[in-house]
Chain A
């Protein structure tokens, strides 16, 4: 992790600007069925195979709230340390588009299910709190496919009606680095909770980014632009950098920034205007008369509260207390639920210090090289702890362990078996080692004489020779002891 400050300032002439960023994250609720219908939500299904009469807005069809999605939203709210609103209202957001069958999106406008909350970021210079403005439930639209035919647009309604949580942050973010940390933290919390899989490639997590700039030290916000639907952290960062610089250029040029909606062109790495404030849609929000206000009881919320697992911030604290990890190590271990589970599985049966080093060092490097997530690790937590125990009890040396580890990465093999099959067990029998050492001294009589006459540096040479002859298996500590005596 970089130790430099995450501050992001733009200098132009004699002026220094800071960038102010707020995010509207759209997180797909992890749920078998849609927000108001029983259709499936599986990713990658054949187009229009997960569409009910409700999703396609047939005449007389009515939405019925999916209680599971409500629970997921409330759990997420609890995870964001947010106020849960016992009464919330679904509104219709009216606009026409081919992939919006109802001609309106059911969303929550005035009365969202979750109110203000917060997310703690671990930045290199310390912790930073980012405010959450609100979280509301809404339906996703379908998908328009424009590139399959030169004249026609195709519509896939599989996504139509899928539940989304829109999580709106306060304008508390100040740099692309913080945005990176914020999205990762949000994703991590939701994955801990099991409320969103956070898969950005599949579109389960997307964001609209609000960017404005102001001279450093001023209090008032500048005019903001909204960059729509950015679907990777890298693109968010690129879009923010481009947009912030564009706005600074305008201001320095004596012009003003227009409030507008912009699109990020990932190929050209630039944002461009999509529609101005004047062209903004009038969505004519009003409460959906097909749905009653959503009311939840204290008992309902308490029940969900009791189902909340240990979240990253709490887990980090525990890892530091219980396992004596450094904050840096703890951050890495809790960054996602799978890593923390893996770590806890490994340390259940093996030494914490070694486990920490092996996971953060060897395992992450090896996974990275193979482009694998921890869940796809060829080495199970059980086998890694066995390997660590082999090191700890002196069966193999750290160096041999690396060889064994490499073989384990080829397939989840029991390290004990590898050691046995390949004869990699460390030689710790003093008699056998003595014989070996005697042979090495015999073969190097002249050097032994030099050593005895004071050339102590040659000790290393002898250790090396012994290790070489033993094929690396000699117990280094014992070799040292015996060599000292013999020489």
Chain B
């Protein structure tokens, strides 16, 4: 089979289970395509030869009852992988090799998948374009010099370019859904507490959540089924009854009530995005859903709230990178000097900016005005959703206020960059699940996504809605393999 990398995850799993393909063939196909795709700069660390060895071992004694039998997979470099460098896209962890495995990746390997490498991301997941990575920009396979979104930009690029059949990212304020939207792929941010944070380099602990990124909803559901588990090693992990998301997946969403929040019609949003949203509403109706206008009155405050809460937690979470125990260390005259030099040289500009913001909002005299107030607003935002969910089963919004932009276009304007997260951030603040699915193209031919937001623990419902709409939308990604010479 010559077009192995064009197959969906479900097709690959099927073909391996039916012994039409071996793990080695599949792994080699993705490794080969990855080798030819260096220009995209998706990988921070490749593990190709190990992957091929593991595939051979799998084929020698294949366990075909597993959910991901011998499937190669690259993962965002925010997940700690035992004995393979984990950088979080930062110089400060450039040479860090964990001795331990994150729970989410362990769940994946337990189902038979094989690690092929670690994918580029914004430094400590702080960014919306993958431009803050110490390891350089990632190209969006949609077009040259286009950002793939962020922070899971390496992940979105790799899935869209078919360098990995599927992948995982992390989403703190939109870091799975926005890059999915920018690359014409599917990305799910699960309910906070659904996927363990153990072994994931922390950005903002109360918001961080791992999730699947895929070419289609069915693949996404399968991976969610694998990675979501209750984990005692994470005190915020929640012990709820998890669905068999892929098995229970259905296109029958007749009678589902879908809310359209008026506050998401923001000033300056391109008409193309608004049009897409309207189309999405029509698709949902076509699928038998009932459309209901709703209000989420505190939406306007979500972004400022996020940019207080997330940097506050980050400023403390990143204190451990001090040059004392592991990672990069700069020489200093004394302890303080060593700290200052290590952190000045080890962290990039955006990370330093957020550490400073976070330190400021937690400082005595400012705590009440910023951090405490932000926590109160966060509660109000959550209440908005709770109120809305008395009337509807899910909420439909655009994923982002625009399509992908050019590399360098927004690097000098952090606020405009932050505005990218305007539709995704409220979902993290409220701890809800949200999925972005590709829904069309803008005039430049760049993909645009729609977001479906669910109730807590209601991943199955938004996956079903996404699955039904996906069929109606019938999106085809326009990727020309321009980077392959």
User: Which residues of chain A (84-120) have a CB below 8 Å from chain B?
Assistant: 92, 94, 96-98, 101-104
In the complex, what distance in Å separates the CA atom of A56 from the CA atom of B321?
11
B198 CB contacts on chain A under 8 angstroms? 60-62
| A289 / chain B contacts, CB cutoff of 8 Å | 204-206, 236, 313
Q: In the complex, A142 Cα to B456 Cα: how many Å?
A: 40
Q: Give B200's nearest chain A residue, CB to CB.
A: A60
A56 touches B339 (CB 8 A): no
A361 at the interface (CB under 8 A from B): no
CB closest chain-A residue, reference B199: A60
Determine whether B80 belongs to the interface, using a CB cutoff of 8 Å to chain A. yes
Complexed CA–CA distance, A59 and B87 (Å): 10
A102 and B319 contacting across the interface, CB-CB below 8 Å: yes
**Contact call B362/A58, Cβ cutoff below 8 A:** no
Q: Is A291 an interface residue (CB 8 A)?
A: yes
- Assess the B325–A57 pair: CB atoms within 8 A: yes
Rounded to whole Å, the gap between the CB of B85 and the closest CB of chain A is 12
Interface of A is mostly: loop
Q: Nearest-CB distance from A56 to chain B (Å)?
A: 6
A71, B478: Cα distance in complex, Å: 61
CB distance from A21 to the nearest CB of B (A): 27
A94–B319 alpha-carbon span in the complex (Å) = 8
Residue B51 interfacial (CB < 8 Å): no
Find the B residue at minimum CB distance from A90: B235
> In whole angstroms, how far apart are the Cα atoms of A324 and B81 in the complex?
69
What is the distance, in angstroms, from A99's C-beta to the closest C-beta of chain B? Answer: 9
Residue B38, interface by CB 8 Å: no
Answer whether A62 and B234 are a contact pair too, CB < 8 Å, given A53-B100, A57-B325, A92-B316.
Answer: yes
Instruction: Place the interface of chain A in its size category.
Output: 20 to 34
Residues of A within 8 Å of B324, CB to CB, are: 98, 101, 155
Is A203 located at the chain interface by the 8 A CB criterion? Answer: no
Contact mask for chain B residues 278-313; partner A; CB cutoff 8 A; 1 contact, 0 none:
000000000000000000000000000000000011
Residues of chain A contacted by B80 (CB below 8 angstroms) = 59-60
Closest chain A CB from B109 CB (angstroms)? 16
A284 touches B359 (CB 8 A): yes
A286 to B313, CA, bound (A): 9
Of B96, B319, B363, the contact of A282 (CB 8 Å cutoff): B363
Query: How many chain B residues touch A (Cβ–Cβ < 8 Å)?
Result: 43
Q: Which B residues are CB-close (under 8 A) to A284?
A: 315-316, 359, 362-364, 367
Q: B residues within 8 A CB of A53?
A: 99-100
Q: With both chains docked as a complex, state the minimum distance between the C-beta of B379 and any C-beta of chain A, in angstroms.
A: 13
Cα-based distance from A104 to B205 in the complex (angstroms)? 15
Chain A CB count within 10 A is highest, among B96, B204, B319, for B319
B232 at the interface (CB under 8 A from A): yes
B417 contacts the other chain (Cβ, under 8 Å)?
no
B197 interfacial by beta-carbon distance below 8 Å:
yes
| Cβ distance A273 to chain B, nearest Cβ, rounded Å | 20
**What is the chain B residue whose CB lies nearest that of A92?**
B316
> In this assembly, does A357 line the interface, its C-beta being within 8 Å of a C-beta of chain B?
no
Cβ-based interface call for A378 (8 A): no
The closest CB in chain B to the CB of A94 belongs to: B316
Whether a CB of chain B sits under 8 angstroms from the CB of A63 is: yes
State A341–B191 Cα separation when bound (angstroms): 55
Max chain B Cβ within 10 angstroms of own Cβ: one of A59, A63, A64, A292: A59
From 47 to 71 in chain A, residues with beta carbon under 8 angstroms from any chain B beta carbon are 53, 56-65
A contact set with B: CB distance below 8 Å:
53, 56-65, 92, 94, 96-98, 101-104, 153, 155, 282, 284-286, 289-292
Please list the residues of chain B having a beta carbon within 8 angstroms of any beta carbon in chain A. 79-80, 86, 88, 93, 96, 98-100, 102, 197-202, 204-206, 232-236, 312-313, 315-316, 318-320, 322, 324-326, 335, 339, 359, 362-364, 367, 371
Name 9 interchain pairs, CB-CB below 8 A, sorted by A: A58-B98, A61-B198, A61-B199, A102-B319, A103-B316, A104-B316, A282-B363, A284-B359, A286-B371
